[in-house]
Chains A and B, each alone.
Chain A
Amino acid sequence: MSFSVTEPNPATKWLAGLLVVGYAVITLIPLLWIIATGFKSPTDSIAYPPVVLFEPTLEGYVNLFTDRTRATEQMLAEAGPPQTWYDEIARARGTVISGPSRYGERFLNSVIIGFGSTALCMILGTAAAYAFSRFRVPLKDDLLFFILSTRMMPPIAVAIPIFLMFRNLGLNDTHIGMILLYTAVNLSLSVWLLKGFIDEIPVEYEEAALIDGYTRFQAFYKVVLPQAATGIASTAIFCLIFAWNEYAFAVLLTSGTAQTAPPFIPNIIGVNGKDWPAVAAGATIFLVPVMVFTVLLRKHLLRGITFGAVRK
């Protein structure tokens, strides 16, 4: 490496690295604590002083996925020996498993609504972004500003009329309603991000295709779409994460059939009040996929959070 005045000296680098790693470790503690608590027994989870080394148990996960009832000695004796390992964990606490909990359903709702809205959003968003990028659309800047401004609205304020509208249309607490709503909220992000990605594809490719006799549609899906694939994929992940994490609309507009996981997880209660290992287990299952996606997205993070303005 050649000498450069702007290259920090090794000591500076060391110190900077040390400070950043220190911050990263501190910031990770709450997340690691969630994951660890999921594997603790109820006693360990509320021990003082907090325990770092403990005997891991799957009790939290069993409690998360099952409903249990308290059983008397006699009932336990009548029920016979435990059939499965999770039965055994429940029996050890003097309870019997009465059935699966709601968590599985709620998680599935999150998956359906997340992926459904992302798919719809990508179809609409790619088409609109292509048009904004390539054609002279009247009032283009105003329309783009309008699209972005819809994202800025406080969700609670928008929720009042949407609640009324959905009630009249019978869309309250339905998957379709939530998919449409999240699609609308995410469209601003997808249009702005995708427009940036499509702007970067040279127009000459399409022009060549058009001269070769492609129609506009063919040029769009045979030339532009494959080129924009990375951009579309990362935009899709951003939309998915948003729909996955969304809480305000979910808590106001869904209660039963279409409720997603975020409003559900905080309300998990055990037999003796708040069951923190179960809450932590639910949170872990819910949060870890997002962390994986974050690692996949790392090159495009900045673009995503600034609506494509900062590209690096």
Chain B
Amino acid sequence: MTDTPIDKAVQRTPEGISRRIRGLSDRAIAWIFVAPTIFLLLAVNIFPLIWTIRLSFTNFRVNRPNNDVEWVGLRNYQRILTDPDIWNTMQATAHFLIWTIILQVLIGFALAFLINKKFKGNDLWTTIIVFPMMLSPAVVGNFWTFLYQPQIGLFNYVIAFFTGADPASFSMIGDVHLAPWAIIIADTWMWTPFVMLICLAGLRSIPDSIYEAAECDRASKWRQFWTITIPMALPFLMLAVLFRGIENFKMFDLVVQLTGGGPGNTTTLTSIDLKREAFEKWRTGYSSAYAVILFVTVFGLASIYVKALNKVKER
């Protein structure tokens, strides 16, 4: 018997347990470590998913538990895909998605490009710029309604100050034409830093030697930007676009607090519409089919996303 600390620890461990632990193969340990995670995800994600798929073929309603549940086959899906209201919702979502991505990529990339000029204190300012995206979208979205108030809102005041319009003459969240832009502005304010951070990583991953070589070949700065900077940062840009795309496709909290989907249905994004069907009209079967359609869309986007992730990782 030696007296190393490990041996002491071994001696102190009760006989039965120590034999059991020592006897475990790596494979068994791997399973013990992974199993709880997989189990919890199965219970909280996959089991409900299967349940949703099952419900989507029925006319079940949560608020009428005594009604007979009938199998309706694909009728829910058929109704959703032919419903003009749903297509309006999809259009509102697409409008929101496209403009937020365009604005965020343009501003985010420009910011990253400027920060990459390595001026003094750029780290500090980067951290400050990042603040909005870390905050609770619901709480911040609610406060944006205050900024958007006609007459008293700060946003209206600033716009009026620069354009000379009457600050009480327009309501960002009350006007059918302005409301879609109100949510785009708030989302862009919130999530541009996200695109900026990823672009910054992309720009910083480009080795200086490439620019030095281009400089030796007398390539102009303009040309360097289009033939070196953009292509080399592109995978990162794609990653940012995909991620924002997925996140904004399921956007709920910020917009529901800002406009609640109104006025009319102009800012009713898919998640808000689904919430109304499922938790206000309680059409559980119908909304389950709706949810399944969203799942499939997001799952498709997600698998592209993971491929893009792996591509970036290889760099």
List A residues at the B interface (Cβ < 8 Å).
Answer: 4-8, 12-14, 16-17, 19-21, 23-24, 27-31, 33-34, 37, 46-50, 124-125, 127-128, 130-132, 135-137, 143, 145-150, 152-165, 180-181, 183-184, 187, 191, 212-218, 241, 244-245, 247-248, 251-252, 261-263, 265-266, 276, 279-280, 283, 286-287, 290-291, 293-295, 298, 301-302, 305-307, 309-310, 312
Contact of A24 among B24, B49, B129, B147 (CB under 8 A): B129
Q: Are A245 and B212 closer than 8 Å at their CB atoms?
A: no
Beta-carbon contacts of B96-111 to A below 8 Å, as 1s and 0s? 0000000000010001
Identity of the chain B residue whose Cβ is nearest the Cβ of A120 in the assembled complex: B40
A29/B299 contact (C-beta < 8 A), A161-B52, A286-B139 known:
no
Q: Are A291 and B295 closer than 8 Å at their CB atoms?
A: no
Q: Are B298 and A154 closer than 8 Å at their CB atoms?
A: yes
Q: Does B181 contact A (CB under 8 A)?
A: no
Q: Are A157 and B52 closer than 8 Å at their CB atoms?
A: yes
Quick one: which of A215, A251, A252 has the most chain B CB within 10 A?
A215
Q: Are A306 and B309 closer than 8 Å at their CB atoms?
A: yes
Q: Are B250 and A154 closer than 8 Å at their CB atoms?
A: yes
List B residues at the A interface (Cβ < 8 Å).
Answer: 4, 6-7, 9-10, 21-22, 24, 26-27, 29-34, 36-38, 40-41, 43-45, 47-49, 51-52, 55, 62, 107, 111, 114-115, 117-123, 125-140, 142-144, 146-147, 151-152, 154, 157, 167, 189, 192-194, 197-198, 200-201, 204, 208, 211-212, 215, 236, 239, 243, 246, 249-250, 252-253, 257, 270-271, 274-275, 278-279, 284, 287-288, 290-292, 294-295, 298-299, 301-303, 305-306, 309, 312-313
Contacts of B301 in A (CB 8 A): 152
Q: Are A16 and B250 closer than 8 Å at their CB atoms?
A: no
Give bound CA distance, A294 to B129, whole Å: 11
Give bound CA distance, A13 to B116, whole Å: 9
Give bound CA distance, A291 to B134, whole Å: 7
Identity of the chain B residue whose Cβ is nearest the Cβ of A130 in the assembled complex: B33
Give bound CA distance, A302 to B127, whole Å: 11
Give bound CA distance, A263 to B256, whole Å: 11
Give bound CA distance, A183 to B142, whole Å: 26
Q: Are B278 and A156 closer than 8 Å at their CB atoms?
A: yes
Contact of A160 among B4, B31, B288 (CB under 8 A): B288
Contact of A16 among B34, B114, B128, B137 (CB under 8 A): B114
Contacts of B279 in A (CB 8 A): 159, 163, 252
Give bound CA distance, A233 to B133, whole Å: 20
Contact of B44 among A163, A180, A213 (CB under 8 A): A180
Contacts of B117 in A (CB 8 A): 8, 12-13, 16-17
17 further interface pairs, Cβ-Cβ under 8 Å (given A161-B48, A184-B40): A20-B125, A49-B157, A124-B36, A128-B38, A130-B33, A152-B301, A152-B305, A154-B270, A157-B291, A161-B47, A162-B48, A184-B43, A217-B21, A218-B9, A245-B136, A307-B309, A310-B236
Q: Are B48 and A302 closer than 8 Å at their CB atoms?
A: no
Contact of B129 among A27, A247, A280, A295 (CB under 8 A): A27
Q: Are A37 and B146 closer than 8 Å at their CB atoms?
A: yes
Q: Are A183 and B40 closer than 8 Å at their CB atoms?
A: yes
Cβ of A18 to closest chain B Cβ, rounded Å: 9
Q: Are B252 and A155 closer than 8 Å at their CB atoms?
A: yes
Contacts of B137 in A (CB 8 A): 245, 247
Contacts of A312 in B (CB 8 A): 201, 204
Identity of the chain B residue whose Cβ is nearest the Cβ of A9 in the assembled complex: B117
